[in-house]
Amino acid sequence: MAARPINKINLIMLRVALYGTNGHQIQNALVSQPGARIAAICEFPRGQLPPPLRDDTAIREHPTLDALLADPNIDLVSLCSPRRADQAAQAIRALRAGKHVLAEKPCALTEADLDTIIRTARETGRAFHEMAGTAFAQPYLAMREIARSGRLGEIVQIIAEKSYPYFDARPQDEAVDGGIIMQNAIHALRFVEHVACVPIASIRAAETTLGNPRPDGGLRMAASFLLTLKNGGLASIAANYLNPRGTKIWGDESLKIIGTLGIVESRGGGQTTRLVIGDDDLGPVDATPPECGFLQTLLASLQGRASMPFSIEDELSPTRWVIRAKQSATQNLNPPTPPFQ
């Protein structure tokens, strides 16, 4: 079947429904978007709406997702599903109900589900997007432009880290949020493909529960990755839930892109950057240009006023690779080596 074109919403106001709170739900960001409004909620406490909207009776509360999807006055559903393992099926139902979908990452936990999402979006003519704005926040947007410009020469190696803190409510069951590889490390894989702009060719991963305060818990606390890139280069990634609160950064992350002509790097969650080309240390990256605004661009694209920066395949490629990384880690489980006595 030939793919149907994306059905644009020729409305002054895009009507958005919020489902679930398990993730980065977009209620606060929508307040500053003049072309969209919150029209309905489900599995979303009214008290979590921005204060001016909590008493807005025009925002309908639906008892179930099915009821929400049956509402004809909804154009876009934002999914932060209570269990990430259920989210792919819910996204497919939403697309088939005629809704555009924005989904928290990871949008799917298996490649089969990911492929079904892509196929269903094409068949229905509805847009599907993951909350994939990593590369379009500064300083990563500026680093992306440097990588794309060729100033670094051939990119040979990429080194990235993503570190979040542990807290008692962090899910021990990976079905709730995707776990260390798919919930955390997906950001670092976006660094590789969306910031450094080099496609991944293969991936291997290992993970450990070492450091989990709950001896019976299933939460993996750290993961390491080795990637080969399609241009022949390499990438290495470290992801963990070991970020101490003393860093004063919720998501402490670093990225170093190394080319034949120079390097560009960011540390401390983007707080410090450096660009070196040949003999010249050019100092911090110029991150003053305004951000694209992933959500703003998405809303504008649905109204025919903008185009998204990636095809659906390229946008979801890091998700595909974290799924494969998880399979790699699962298939290569080895018993831990006992400590030296």
pLDDT tens for each residue of 74-90: 999 999 999 999 999 99
- Cα–Cα distance for residue pair 263/18, rounded to 1 Å: 41
Listed range (114-118, 132-136, 282-286) with the worst mean pLDDT: 132-136
pLDDT at 2 exceeding the cut of 70: no
Residue 3 lies in a domain: no
| Model confidence band, residue 336 (pLDDT cutoffs 50, 70, 90) | very low
- Cα–Cα distance for residue pair 21/41, rounded to 1 Å: 10
Residue 2 lies in a domain: no
**Each residue's pLDDT tens digit, 143-154:** 999 999 999 999
Residue 340 lies in a domain: no
What is the residue type of 68?
L
Beta-carbon contacts of 270 under 8 Å, excluding residues fewer than 6 positions away, are 137, 138, 139, 140, 253, 287
- Cα–Cα distance for residue pair 37/29, rounded to 1 Å: 10
Q: Where are the alpha helices (DSSP H) in the chain?
A: 27-30, 65-69, 84-96, 111-124, 140-149, 174-177, 179, 186-190, 294-302, 312-331
Mean confidence (pLDDT) of the chain: 93
Residue 303 lies in a domain: no
Q: Are residues 121 and 224 in the same domain?
A: no
Report how many domains make up the chain. Answer: 2
Q: Are residues 125 and 141 in the same domain?
A: no
| Model confidence band, residue 341 (pLDDT cutoffs 50, 70, 90) | very low
CATH code at position 46: 3.40.50.720
The position carrying tokens 């379009």 is 136
- Cα–Cα distance for residue pair 157/259, rounded to 1 Å: 7
Residue 173 lies in a domain: yes
Out of 131, 146, 165, pick the residue that ends a domain.
131
Tell me the pTM: 0.93
Q: Are residues 149 and 230 in the same domain?
A: yes
C-alpha Rg value of the chain to the nearest Å: 21
Q: Are residues 143 and 180 in the same domain?
A: yes
